[in-house]
Structure 1
């Protein structure tokens, strides 16, 4: 059985609501509240669970909100490993304006962690052996900004495939270390690394340069409404976005990672796993609030594409936004 570790250093409780209209200085009354646990690594674990698999999940959590968070995590079919911290787990809040369809997301920076708490994370990584390690989400305050790069060094030689989903200096530092299996930047994030605007052709070339120098084996680039492209050593595959009725885009990128990882551990070729990932991202966009993809929707989209959506009445090309996955 394939072993997986998902790491969530700065997880959250995610709360989503709807409002008839959001206006400045006005009291905004909300409804249809949904609450879930979140953060990159946590969401990947949630998708794996929905698809019928399990993983080890390493989280940093603390305070009263941390207890609520951990109680919810314990309901998942995961092997939970907790680094207790003095600070409080953050709460992220999203409100959807039902008149405009716009989402407003409020994401706190989260707690400050101590050097001792950081060291406990590093000690845990020495205790196990995994086939895949997913490093996803932001790094908490107090932890070195290049912590993911340090983790990549720490895991070197362990014969594990590392999937990294982060951005900015943290991503650049990890690419400098090298040896990654997959990264998932958006086009904007890729442009931030190289310091210039990129066409699709230029983005593919940049990714292949990363691959050629040994930084990473595969790069999945989100192109927002234009879909996504998978870049490998010899070729690339571009897929368009699915046109779906948009519930919420919260967690779509994490769902892409979870869907692609699920396919990989079930021996799908990388290109087909990429297709599953795109389907998982779109399936999450179809969901409301903080809900993520449903297994049946992922497989329906992967196997039948928009034909299945048309027959189910889930697309409307003239009036429906394109999903922004992965």
Structure 2
């Protein structure tokens, strides 16, 4: 089951810990962990953990870009890098061991020229055609120089190839989407910013999601509520799904893991309820691993079973395997 992901603003994610943050002092960190990062790359790693066959398309530049390519390949994900002039960015997170607080530092990506953006679009179209992808996932922020309409251009390219698209983005990129998108996954904060008003209740959030559906932007909207679970919204359905309690090692990439679970379930023809449950299970399992690593397959399966044990019509998921 092939899935192509697009990450226009990838990063090398560096994670380390220190005993305590101290102003101006030299603080000795633990041995760092290096992960390939960026929305689509994180999604691809979860798709792989769930037995899918992901291909990651991303711009890559400089020595850091070559390291990113190696990290993605080492993770077992098929890579389709697009060489660009600017260097691939790095981001880093520090966990203060005395408090378990995590501090995240996100650097800006390198600007992409119009020609580099066009080559990224061409690379995506080629990957979709050669892999026979069942889904295209566009996830993450856009780097400097990239029009907020870029993801809409991507959606239109995929529509010509009859490949359904899942999108997870924010800000102007979210507001410029016109569809047709199969599944859109904003956080409640991103949805509120897009709607231009506070969304304090589930009813408010469902109404805002339905505005996007009525406008033809997306067929399905899954609103990530963080520790409060998720909302599934379609034209005729609005349903809240509770979270699952899980110790948090790192909160980075959990939303991307949710998207990975959603697209795997949809590509396999699961019903919408089980699709959201798998997304929540994948996100919750990702919280239990350091850095931006995906959840362990057996842990995702265990959490999915816990979420569905009282739902007789749920899809059994004893193990994950490629179709």
If the length of structure 1 is used for normalisation, what is the TM-score? 0.88
| Residue 296 (str. 1) matches residue 295 (str. 2) | no
Q: What SS is found at the alignment partner of 1:149?
A: helix
Give the unaligned 5+ runs of structure 1.
308-326
- For residue 170 of structure 2, what is the aligned residue in structure 1? 167
| Residue 257 (str. 1) matches residue 274 (str. 2) | no
Q: What SS is found at the alignment partner of 1:249?
A: coil
- For residue 314 of structure 1, what is the aligned residue in structure 2? none
Alignment partner for residue 151 of structure 1, among 154, 162, 173?
154
1:54/1:77 contact within 8 Å kept: no
Q: After alignment, is 165-174 or 111-120 more displaced?
A: 111-120
Q: What SS is found at the alignment partner of 1:74?
A: helix
1:15/1:94 contact within 8 Å kept: yes
| TM-fit CA distance, 1:57 | 1.6
Q: After alignment, is 84-93 or 49-58 more displaced?
A: 49-58
Q: Take 1:188 and 1:60, find their aligned partners in 2: how far apart are those partners?
A: 28
| TM-fit CA distance, 1:165 | 0.5
Q: What SS is found at the alignment partner of 2:95?
A: strand
| TM-fit CA distance, 1:265 | 2.3
| Residue 220 (str. 1) matches residue 222 (str. 2) | yes
2:46/2:294 contact within 8 Å kept: yes
| TM-fit CA distance, 1:22 | 1.3
Q: What SS is found at the alignment partner of 2:206?
A: helix
2:248/2:287 contact within 8 Å kept: yes
Q: Take 2:228 and 2:73, find their aligned partners in 1: how far apart are those partners?
A: 37
Q: Take 1:178 and 1:74, find their aligned partners in 2: how far apart are those partners?
A: 32
| TM-fit CA distance, 1:59 | 1.1
2:277/2:307 contact within 8 Å kept: no
| Residue 246 (str. 1) matches residue 245 (str. 2) | no
- For residue 312 of structure 2, what is the aligned residue in structure 1? none
| Residue 139 (str. 1) matches residue 138 (str. 2) | no
- For residue 195 of structure 2, what is the aligned residue in structure 1? 194
Q: Take 1:246 and 1:126, find their aligned partners in 2: how far apart are those partners?
A: 37
4+ residue runs of structure 1 moved beyond 6 angstroms?
none
Give the unaligned 5+ runs of structure 2.
310-323
2:57/2:124 contact within 8 Å kept: no
1:131/1:159 contact within 8 Å kept: no
| Residue 237 (str. 1) matches residue 239 (str. 2) | yes
Alignment partner for residue 208 of structure 1, among 204, 210, 228?
210
- For residue 272 of structure 2, what is the aligned residue in structure 1? 270
Q: Against the structure 1 CA distance between its residues 215 and 306, is the aligned structure 2 distance closer, same or farther, given a 3 Å change threshold?
A: closer
Q: Take 2:308 and 2:166, find their aligned partners in 1: how far apart are those partners?
A: 28
Q: Take 2:111 and 2:206, find their aligned partners in 1: how far apart are those partners?
A: 37
* Deviation string, structure 1 residues 136-159 (Cα, Å, up to 9, x no partner): 011121221221112122333432
| Residue 10 (str. 1) matches residue 12 (str. 2) | no
- For residue 315 of structure 1, what is the aligned residue in structure 2? none
2:158/2:164 contact within 8 Å kept: no
Q: Take 1:205 and 1:51, find their aligned partners in 2: how far apart are those partners?
A: 32
Aligned Cα root-mean-square deviation (Å): 1.7
| TM-fit CA distance, 1:197 | 0.5
Q: What SS is found at the alignment partner of 2:53?
A: coil
2:7/2:57 contact within 8 Å kept: yes
| TM-fit CA distance, 1:260 | 1.6
